[in-house]
Chain A
């Protein structure tokens, strides 16, 4: 009996420890574990710092811990961990926490432009489009250059953006709903939290008056 119990206890302890490691709730949760009084647990849970944000410990987790891959599937354990891939890439403050444009510009990554031909190069189109915005935010500068490094003209024109000055009505509301720029930005390209990356040209003094 005692041997069995001891084995059971050790097993439970290990599971407990692993789970704490996995959950990544941080120091607060670890403090909870040491003090098992239920009241403290409740208080700590509702009053955690930045409870709606993801702490650094929960970013770029390996597939088995990321909550979107099934940890009971053997395939999950063969997949690459994002942390391993992102380690050598330039960092950013949002999305995958990788500055993909810089990673491409500075050749940290060399993604193919053609799936068969590793030598094929994109036709980069260097034209900035300045869009004056109505509100107090700086005007938007849209660089074709960085976009044509990744994309083909047909990806955006004419389905998403009509290639004609003044023909496209763009609003932040539509972008947030996943239209216009929001087809990519806010899903896979840098998210809409990076206001200044697009609203990058301060209004001139005359324009303000």
Chain B
């Protein structure tokens, strides 16, 4: 009886230490995954994860970056839900016609709350620095200009 209790406590400790290890290993998401957190956190929604890989299988870069007008900069596009439902930005396809419609909130708003705007695994984010040992979810944006608008 008594040493069962001890073993349970030991197991609990091991569990907690494991959780810490897991968090410390950081993110292993795809190259080019973009997190957009311009307004999400303040609106009480999860930030958006945009998977470039999924979209480039189906569309060439030109469709979003020339026809629809997305700037080549994470956080550099002033995307709001109003614009989306009016057919701008994501709403140009996510309208129930070309792709699934906007009422599937959780399919885009899927990052842990507080995740900063970033291009996952971008050159600057991957540089080996003291900063990069922190988990991505709590890290300040590694891209110095991530929050500013696109430069011309």
Closest chain A CB from B125 CB (angstroms): 9
Is residue A182 within 8 Å, beta carbon to beta carbon, of the partner chain? Answer: yes
Residues of A within 8 A of B (CB): 1-2, 5, 8-9, 12-13, 15-16, 19-20, 22-25, 29, 33, 36, 41, 45, 52, 54, 58-61, 63, 65-70, 73-76, 78-80, 82, 85-86, 94-96, 98, 100, 109, 111-116, 122, 149-152, 154-155, 159, 175-178, 182-184, 186-188, 191-192
> In the complex, how many residues of chain B place their beta carbon closer than 8 angstroms to a beta carbon of chain A?
72
A66, B28: Cβ atoms closer than 8 Å:
yes
Please name all residues of chain B whose beta carbon is closer than 8 Å to the beta carbon of A78 when the two chains form the complex.
106-107
B18, A66: Cβ atoms closer than 8 Å:
no
B72, A183: Cβ atoms closer than 8 Å:
yes
Please name all residues of chain A whose beta carbon is closer than 8 Å to the beta carbon of B4 when the two chains form the complex.
2, 5, 9
The CA of A22 and the CA of B25, in the complex, are separated in Å by 11
B58, A176: Cβ atoms closer than 8 Å:
no
| Residues 109-152 (chain B) with a chain A CB within 8 angstroms | 109-113, 115, 119-124, 126, 128, 135-137, 143, 145, 152
CB pairs A–B below 8 angstroms (10 shown): A13-B11, A23-B21, A66-B30, A69-B29, A76-B110, A85-B53, A111-B56, A111-B57, A112-B60, A175-B123
B152, A159: Cβ atoms closer than 8 Å:
yes
> Which residue of B is nearest A54, CB measured?
B28
Q: Quick one: CB contact mask for B82-109 with A, threshold 8 Å, 1 for yes? A: 0000000000110000100000111111
Additional A-B contacts beyond A67-B25, A70-B112 (14; CB < 8 A): A9-B4, A16-B18, A54-B28, A67-B28, A67-B137, A70-B46, A70-B113, A75-B110, A82-B54, A95-B121, A151-B60, A154-B66, A188-B52, A191-B31
